[in-house]
Amino acid sequence: MSIIELGIGLSRIDDVAASAQHAESLGYDFVSTGEHVFFYGAVGNGIISLAAAAGATTRIKLMSTITLVPLYPAALLAKLVASLDVVSKGRFNLGVGVGGEFAKEFEACGVPLKERGSRTNESLEVLTQLFSQDDVHFDGRYTQLPGVPLEPKPIQKPLPIWISGRSDAAMKRCARFGTGWLPYMYTPEKLHGSLTKINTMATEFERTSAVKPGLFIFFAIHEDRQTAIDMAISRLSKQYNQDFTKLVHKYAIAGNPDDCIARLRQYIDAGAQTIILNSACPTAHTGENERLMAQIIPAIRGGHR
């Protein structure tokens, strides 16, 4: 019987410590946060926010959902990731994505948008070597290492790396580098199909361990179904700068508690074992949204632990 792990996104970027402590008190397995340099609204930096969360908690695991890997020099990212794992006493999980939803941030950071995939793959090669070797020589397209050691290295060996995305390229990246697969904006059917495809791709890289199946998904819960749906449409339409009226039921969980339980079970039946939830509600309803989700967690975990 599979063990279901659940995570929750930080509800506020201006009070990370309290948000992380609240998530830990509710019994979540992970607390997470995303990042952007520039975006359609206010977004923090994942490494900074999760470092603050680490200092305020003792048990809950930390996951970046996601780190925009191509915007970092690979050696610098390796240092930041290793340091966060050390200060959190081995609780950090690196979520990896290529970004691209907001092209101007790539332009502002001097990174061509068309290079985001190749930069991410090379960075993962660099991180893998720096985390496991003491004298790293690397001559890549974007990174040159002249024989350097990374100290301290992450406590976790290996450090968990969750690959996010929606494309075949992301699936192949996961098959090659990922501890786990953390897609977003996915239906249960697409999740199941992607896991099958990743397992097939994994044979190319002679993996010795299976990829952990995960999911990142937005949620909105209200005793009144339509209120929850309307909140999710409003929030996601603004956040992604497109109309989510016809997309909300495909790519988010929105409705009353029974609706949300049923939808989450569909994702679990499709293979998800680690589910990172992120509120799709206005700030004023976030606390109630999370309270309702905490109440239905036993129904989700029941029969899976």
Region 54-78: mean pLDDT is 98
Pairing of strands 136-139, 144-148: antiparallel
Q: How many CB atoms lie within 10 A of CB 49?
A: 24
Signed CA dihedral, 139, 157, 155, 36: sign only: positive
The pLDDT tens digits for 28-64 are 999 999 999 999 888 999 999 999 999 999 999 999 9
Nearest in space to 197 (alpha carbons), one of 214, 186, 179, 211: 211
Number of CB atoms found within 10 A of residue 302's CB:
9
pLDDT 10s digits, 80-130: 999 999 999 999 999 999 999 999 999 999 999 999 999 999 999 999 999
Q: At what angle do helices 46-56 and 16-25 cross, to 10 degrees?
A: 60
Provide the total of helices (H) and of strands (E) in the chain, helices listed first.
11, 12
- Asked if the model's pLDDT at residue 266 lies above 90, the reply is yes
Rg (CA), the chain: 19
Q: How confident is the model at residue 214 (pLDDT cuts 50, 70, 90)?
A: very high
The pLDDT value recorded for residue 303 is 52
- Reported as type and span, the H/E element at residue 74 is helix 74-87
Burial of 91 (0-12, 13-18, 19+ CB in 10 A): buried
Q: Is 281 left (phi over 0), alpha (psi -120 to 50) or beta?
A: beta
With bands split at pLDDT 50, 70 and 90, how would you rate the model's confidence at 198? Answer: very high
What mean pLDDT do residues 178-200 have? 97
The reply to whether the predicted model has a pTM over 0.85 is: yes
- Each domain of the chain, given as residue ranges in start order, spans 32-159, 179-305
What's the confidence (pLDDT) of residue 305? 46
Q: What is the pLDDT of residue 304?
A: 53
Which class is 179-305 in CATH?
alpha beta
The yes-or-no verdict on residue 1 having pLDDT over 60 is no
Q: What are the beta bridge partners of residue 161? A: 94
The angle, 0 to 180 degrees and rounded to 10, between the axes of the packed helices 74-87 and 116-132 is 50
Task: Give the mean model confidence (pLDDT) for residues 141-155.
Answer: 98
d(CA 221, CA 232) in angstroms, rounded, equals: 9
The fold of 32-159 is TIM Barrel (3.20.20)
